[in-house]
A and B are shown apart, each in its own frame.
Chain A
């Protein structure tokens, strides 16, 4: 059977008039209430609307926001098991070690590069990811460009040495811990305690995106944001069980793919607009924005490249090489 919706919730009337009522799980917040800096939430909602429109009402997708159906680990696992219809979020490396490749620091230079690489028709990175996921029984429909991550801190951060004495909040991911552990003291703090931990200075810094700093109100408890783009988060990938995908007639598949592709375009344009606004907003809220110079950024990159052997070992050398080759091919194609 195809999970909570899938074959189960589908109601067959006659022949080609089959309709589907499906569930989508994500950790994003409902954009009708969380309006600001929520490019992913907006894109997800619009994907469900477009899917409805392009399938002429045959596919109704109900989005379930704010992790009410589980976190990313759980949601992607449900997709692999065929128990959830759609997931838009981050497929975690606990499910497939190769996915850790996306977390390697300082790989992409711009969101545009990401967008081209993960274009569902032509992107080399999309094809690679799609092959990996197929082995998990998962159909990859689209990869949103999502966001880059920077650094929030109580004292200014320009170069890695500035963080030597800092306690840096991270989450449960070996690769992320490894990177920040080389720079300062990495400490895992639960999401619900971040705000208080910054306020009481239990941690001095954390890695996060600028838009999240706005929506989680972290500017209230921290002074600096360094626009470092240290890591791209593969945070809004649209997947579904292959079994469910193959149960759709061809015209439904086409319609869903079209909706997914359009979602990517929209998320990208929302995110670009957000990026143009976010730093001004953070400054207005009293934060100081630090834009590292090319030389300063180079220090970070060199430090990161010095850990490449570790990353490669962690991701698995075959997957790491495949991924980096695809990244290089994509960079070459851009020029």
Chain B
């Protein structure tokens, strides 16, 4: 009860503007002190929380993104894709979603996806007149595509606790992932206008921005391809980058995390030799600016970990699960409650606790209801995607807002549409249509 009140307090002071890290810190310390519990584990929990290779992708891809922007590669990549999609409405928003899927083939992590795609897209999109909050919103929403498209690190963890095949899990999210991406593109199509004002585009982007989504008078197929060819030639060096990363990972040269460092090196080479935008000072600035960004992006982690420690050692995850599951026996209601447990716990705890603590509590109920383990996994992965954008514990949201440099509160609004019109329907879809998850694994592994 006290823990519930403290969790609510954390939530309230957080949305009233208290820094996220301090809100978690205050909640945890308050609970420990009020209950006379030892404060001894606080510092070591905080220290070891960040001490994980899982986070290493963040500095590497933030750095790579920064270097790509400074070198001018990002501009060229976006210039090309906007020529390609010039008559598509909200093309750049769709491009973020598409790029997240593409990047998903390389990494199993949504955080790496957000930081990597943000690095390439944010500057040019801002220059075109997209509002920062929308760029961050689309990035945060499409982050889960980074693991819905295999490989998938969440699947590797889930496979162990649920004793099911990793490759089946990899396959199971492909169809739902594609559907999710299409839903996002549809939402983007209707939403982008509210956050897009080509009249504020910078000089270099004026031309691209104005015509984004509108037919240009006098354009023919000939001029379209001529323009496309022109931007393509400029983009060739930049397009080699994804090839290097793809080849490197699938050729067994480096891991998806290490790919961040390789992209950084390539960006430096291009910036110095091809675009000639880069000087030693600029390169060093990339390193210092990445360091500073770490101070906001990951500073939440230690304090969130202390709060999680308090929740876990005091039985909160079990309480949430049991509360919901004791309500009804009706299968449809139980399925909805299962989703509710996922969504509610997703507000307060991060992916690791959902996978390792909440899911095992739900598994007996799920099994009794005849839910296939693979399907439960897919529900879990979608729920993690949703949980990552719902505060207080909302890493995708915080990271996207930080890398785009915009207030979190502003990002909540566009993200709300993605939550209501893509996240929740997607969870219901994979809950009530098992075939979406099971069809492909059955087709391939029999």
Instruction: Give chain A's interface residues, CB within 8 Å of chain B.
Output: 1-4, 6, 8-9, 23, 29-30, 32-36, 62, 64-71, 73-74, 77-78, 81-84, 189-193, 195-197, 199-202, 215-217, 220-221
Contact B249 A200 (CB under 8 A): yes
Contact A84 B41 (CB under 8 A): yes
Instruction: Give chain B's interface residues, CB within 8 Å of chain A.
Output: 35-38, 40-41, 44-45, 48, 53-54, 56, 108, 151, 153, 156-157, 159-163, 165-167, 249-257, 309, 312-313, 315, 352-353, 355-357, 359-360, 363-364
Instruction: State in angstroms the CA–CA spacing of A81 and B39 once bound together.
Output: 12
Known interface pairs A36-B163, A195-B156, A217-B159. Does A200 touch B40 (Cβ–Cβ under 8 Å)?
Answer: no
Q: Which of B151, B165, B353 contacts A68 (CB 8 A)?
A: B353
Instruction: State in angstroms the CA–CA spacing of A64 and B257 once bound together.
Output: 29
- Closest residue of chain B to A212, judged by CB? B160
Contact A81 B40 (CB under 8 A): yes
Contact B309 A82 (CB under 8 A): no
Known interface pairs A8-B36, A68-B356, A202-B255. Does A216 touch B312 (Cβ–Cβ under 8 Å)?
Answer: no
Contact B163 A4 (CB under 8 A): no
Q: Which of B41, B166, B252, B355 contacts A3 (CB 8 A)?
A: B41
Chain A interface SS verdict (over half): loop
Q: 6 A-B contacts, Cβ less than 8 Å apart?
A: A65-B356, A74-B45, A77-B44, A200-B249, A202-B252, A202-B255
Instruction: State in angstroms the CA–CA spacing of A77 and B48 once bound together.
Output: 11
The 4 closest A-B pairs by CB, nearest first: A190-B53, A66-B356, A201-B252, A83-B40
Contact A193 B41 (CB under 8 A): no
Instruction: State in angstroms the CA–CA spacing of A3 and B359 once bound together.
Output: 27
Q: Which of A4, A35, A66, A215 contacts B41 (CB 8 A)?
A: A4
B263 CB to nearest A CB, Å: 17
Known interface pairs A77-B44, A189-B255. Does A83 touch B166 (Cβ–Cβ under 8 Å)?
Answer: no
B19 CB to nearest A CB, Å: 25
Contact B163 A196 (CB under 8 A): no
Taking CB atoms, residues of chain B closer than 8 Å to A81 are 40, 44
Contact A69 B37 (CB under 8 A): no
Contact B254 A202 (CB under 8 A): yes
Q: Of residues B250, B313, B356, which shows the largest number of chain A Cβ atoms within 10 Å of its Cβ?
A: B313
Taking CB atoms, residues of chain B closer than 8 Å to A68 are 312, 352-353, 356-357
Taking CB atoms, residues of chain A closer than 8 Å to B254 are 202
Instruction: State in angstroms the CA–CA spacing of A6 and B251 once bound together.
Output: 52
Contact B252 A200 (CB under 8 A): yes
Contact A192 B161 (CB under 8 A): no
Contact B41 A23 (CB under 8 A): no
Instruction: State in angstroms the CA–CA spacing of A77 and B43 once bound together.
Output: 12
Instruction: State in angstroms the CA–CA spacing of A64 and B153 once bound together.
Output: 21
Taking CB atoms, residues of chain A closer than 8 Å to B56 are 190
Taking CB atoms, residues of chain B closer than 8 Å to A192 are 53-54, 108, 153, 156-157
Q: Of residues A8, A189, A200, which shows the largest number of chain B Cβ atoms within 10 Å of its Cβ?
A: A200
Instruction: State in angstroms the CA–CA spacing of A245 and B201 once bound together.
Output: 69
Taking CB atoms, residues of chain A closer than 8 Å to B312 are 64, 68-69
Contact A33 B360 (CB under 8 A): yes
Contact B313 A23 (CB under 8 A): yes
Instruction: State in angstroms the CA–CA spacing of A193 and B36 once bound together.
Output: 40
Taking CB atoms, residues of chain A closer than 8 Å to B48 are 70-71, 73-74
- Closest residue of chain A to B249, judged by CB? A200
- Closest residue of chain A to B252, judged by CB? A201
Q: Which of B162, B167, B250 contacts A220 (CB 8 A)?
A: B167
- Closest residue of chain A to B41, judged by CB? A83
Known interface pairs A8-B37, A8-B38, A83-B41. Does A215 touch B163 (Cβ–Cβ under 8 Å)?
Answer: yes
Known interface pairs A66-B356, A83-B38, A189-B255. Does A216 touch B44 (Cβ–Cβ under 8 Å)?
Answer: no
Taking CB atoms, residues of chain B closer than 8 Å to A35 are 163
Contact B356 A32 (CB under 8 A): no
- Closest residue of chain A to B309, judged by CB? A69
Taking CB atoms, residues of chain B closer than 8 Å to A32 are 360, 363-364
B305 CB to nearest A CB, Å: 9
A185 CB to nearest B CB, Å: 13
Contact B255 A3 (CB under 8 A): no
Known interface pairs A23-B313, A193-B256. Does A33 touch B363 (Cβ–Cβ under 8 Å)?
Answer: yes
Known interface pairs A8-B38, A66-B356, A82-B40. Does A216 touch B364 (Cβ–Cβ under 8 Å)?
Answer: no
Taking CB atoms, residues of chain A closer than 8 Å to B166 are 195, 217, 220-221
A135 CB to nearest B CB, Å: 20
Taking CB atoms, residues of chain B closer than 8 Å to A78 are 41, 44
Instruction: State in angstroms the CA–CA spacing of A30 and B361 once bound together.
Output: 10
Contact A33 B162 (CB under 8 A): yes
Instruction: State in angstroms the CA–CA spacing of A173 and B151 once bound together.
Output: 27
Instruction: State in angstroms the CA–CA spacing of A78 and B313 once bound together.
Output: 14
B259 CB to nearest A CB, Å: 11
Instruction: State in angstroms the CA–CA spacing of A9 and B40 once bound together.
Output: 15
Instruction: State in angstroms the CA–CA spacing of A216 and B164 once bound together.
Output: 9
Taking CB atoms, residues of chain A closer than 8 Å to B160 are 29, 34, 215-217
Instruction: State in angstroms the CA–CA spacing of A190 and B81 once bound together.
Output: 35
Contact A4 B313 (CB under 8 A): yes
- Closest residue of chain A to B42, judged by CB? A83
Contact B353 A216 (CB under 8 A): no
Instruction: State in angstroms the CA–CA spacing of A292 and B41 once bound together.
Output: 46
Taking CB atoms, residues of chain B closer than 8 Å to A30 are 161, 360
Instruction: State in angstroms the CA–CA spacing of A189 and B250 once bound together.
Output: 16
- Closest residue of chain A to B257, judged by CB? A193
